[in-house]
Amino acid sequence: MTSTDPSVQRPFTLRSLVLSVYLPTFVFAVGQGAVLPVIPLFARELGAPVAAAGLIVGMRSLGTLLFDLPSGLAVARFGDKGAMVAGTALISVVALGASLSASPVVFGGLIFLMGGGWAFWQLARLAYVSDVTPVEYRGRALTLVGGVIRAGYFVGPILGGFLGKYYGLEAAFYAQAGMGVAASALMWVCVRDDSGSDRMGGRGLSQRLVETAVAHRRVFLAAGLPVLVLQLLREVRQVFLPLWGESIGLDVGQIGLAFGISYFVDTGLFYPVGCVMDRWGRKWAGVPSLLTLSLGMLLLPTTRTFVAFTIVAVLIGIGHGFGTGIVMTLGADLAPKDRRGEFLGVWRLLGDVGSTGGPFLASLVAGLGGLGLSATVCAGIGLVGTLVMGKLMPETLPRDGERRGRSHPR
């Protein structure tokens, strides 16, 4: 006989997140991916010089960085569902505005807001998954999120390129807006209404944010520092691989092939890594990720042939694959239940500082001492992050006895 008592919990399964998390994430990622290759081309079409087009592309990352803390406050006040729906709706409106832009300045401002909407979406989704997923499932749940995003980013650029070629560049933004609306509708229907933080009033939210950062400063130092370094390494690989390949005489086809092989290996690791994190611990994925990425950066300046370059690219891909979902999983594990939104806002900020600052650091050092020195410096930073994670960061996966003593999330 089946119990109808609402207090009786059904066992958690990853399948329960399909409609509320994985499907809207895929739809949203397809829309985001559709405009990534189009943004610089559309900026050029509006009359922006090459340097300005590159700056406009960077406005998206800057918007994400600067909206991390406000998105944490939004989660605290409106809950996970409200912030996720607001983020996707904002991006849909911005995408329509971008398609109608008449100047590079206006277009750049809208791309900045697009990054802000992405920040709202990411943080609220992380808060929701951490709230509804038992700790022993979080590694798999969040690495699957990373895998779904990768799948969306694979489909999206193909769609955007097709639409841009046959219907004009603005068609990619229309697709992004439509995908955003579809993702919003899915979440509005499928995400439970009682998810999220305490929905505090506006008064005192900023104070709570500062208090949270101060109260958890040791956590942010021990765990946030290696996360910042990991995000830095993830971004600078996008700089070093193509530029180093060009510097040793490889053509764009060879560089693209090496990239493709690297991403293929990277993508294939996301679910096994989730199983590793849930069985042995988060550090069993985080430490190998940092170490392998650092070794790849260290070895890159020694390559002189296509084969050697590809081997190092694959090594870097393995390192990136080991890090799938680790930032989200650690944030979900460490966030206090009563101030999850504020904590995750600071947590995302740390990671995005690494993502945004990494390419600038790489460019600065390369300008002073060359590309090889820049890769070596970033490798050294990565090894420091590896030591901090391995020695100072506590393991966040509870032992079996601790898990049995915990109740499942609501």
Q: Give the domain range for residue 43.
A: 16-198
Q: What is the distance between the alpha carbons of residues 381 and 235, in angstroms, rounded to a whole number?
A: 13
Q: Both 265 and 304 in a single domain? A: yes
pLDDT recorded at residue 205: 58
Q: Both 150 and 260 in a single domain? A: no
CB count within 10 Å of CB 141 equals 25
Lowest mean pLDDT among 3-17, 84-98, 344-358, 366-380: 3-17
Structure tokens at 262: 């690297």
Phi-psi region of 325 (alpha: psi -120 to 50; beta: other; left: phi over 0): left
pLDDT recorded at residue 193: 65
Q: Which is more confident, 406 or 242?
A: 242
Q: Both 188 and 283 in a single domain? A: no
Tell me the average pLDDT across 373-381: 93
Q: Both 258 and 377 in a single domain? A: yes
Q: Both 291 and 177 in a single domain? A: no
Handedness of CA 60, 327, 86, 349 (dihedral sign): negative
Q: Both 290 and 366 in a single domain? A: yes
- Is residue 142 one of the residues assigned to a domain? yes
Structure tokens at 268: 């294939």
Q: How far is CA 61 from the centre of its chain?
A: 11
Q: Is the pLDDT of residue 391 over 60?
A: yes
Q: What is the distance between the alpha carbons of residues 110 and 93, in angstroms, rounded to a whole number?
A: 10
Tell me the average pLDDT across 194-220: 67
pLDDT recorded at residue 408: 41
Give Cα separations from 85 to 19, 82, 146, 180, 330 (angstroms).
Answer: 14, 5, 20, 9, 24
Looking at 198, 232, 263, the residue that finishes a domain is 198
Instruction: Name residue, tokens 């998810």.
Output: 195
Q: What is the distance between the alpha carbons of residues 136 and 408, in angstroms, rounded to a whole number?
A: 10
- Amino acid at residue number 272: P
Q: What are the tens digits of pLDDT across the range 163-201?
A: 888 898 899 999 999 999 999 999 888 887 654 444 444
Q: Both 243 and 107 in a single domain? A: no
- 379: part of which helix (H) or strand (E)? helix 371-391
Q: What is the distance between the alpha carbons of residues 62 and 113, in angstroms, rounded to a whole number?
A: 9
Q: What are the tens digits of pLDDT across the range 257-309?
A: 887 788 788 888 888 998 999 999 999 999 999 999 999 999 999 999 999 99
Q: Is the pLDDT of residue 407 over 80?
A: no
Q: What is the count of structural domains for the chain?
A: 2
- What's the pLDDT band for 406 if we cut at 50, 70, 90? very low
Looking at 164, 198, 232, the residue that finishes a domain is 198
- Is residue 402 one of the residues assigned to a domain? no
Q: Both 94 and 229 in a single domain? A: no
- Is residue 208 one of the residues assigned to a domain? no
Looking at 153, 173, 198, the residue that finishes a domain is 198
Q: Both 21 and 170 in a single domain? A: yes
Structure tokens at 282: 């988060």
Structure tokens at 5: 């008592």
pTM of the model: 0.74
Residue 93: CATH number of its domain: 1.20.1250.20
Q: Is the pLDDT of residue 6 over 50?
A: no
- Is residue 117 one of the residues assigned to a domain? yes
Instruction: Name residue, tokens 């971008």.
Output: 98
Percent of the chain with pLDDT over 70: 91
Q: Is the pLDDT of residue 68 over 80?
A: yes
Q: Both 71 and 162 in a single domain? A: yes
Q: Both 42 and 189 in a single domain? A: yes
Q: Which is more confident, 127 or 30?
A: 30
- Is residue 4 one of the residues assigned to a domain? no
Q: Can you spell out the DSSP letters for 277-306? A: HHHT-THHHHHHHHHHHHHHHHHGGG--SH
Handedness of CA 43, 44, 46, 52 (dihedral sign): positive
- Is residue 205 one of the residues assigned to a domain? no
- Is residue 5 one of the residues assigned to a domain? no
User: 283: which residues sit within 8 A by CB, 6+ positions away?
Assistant: 389, 390, 393, 395
Q: Both 152 and 233 in a single domain? A: no
Q: Which is more confident, 314 or 361?
A: 314
- Is residue 319 one of the residues assigned to a domain? yes
pLDDT recorded at residue 194: 52
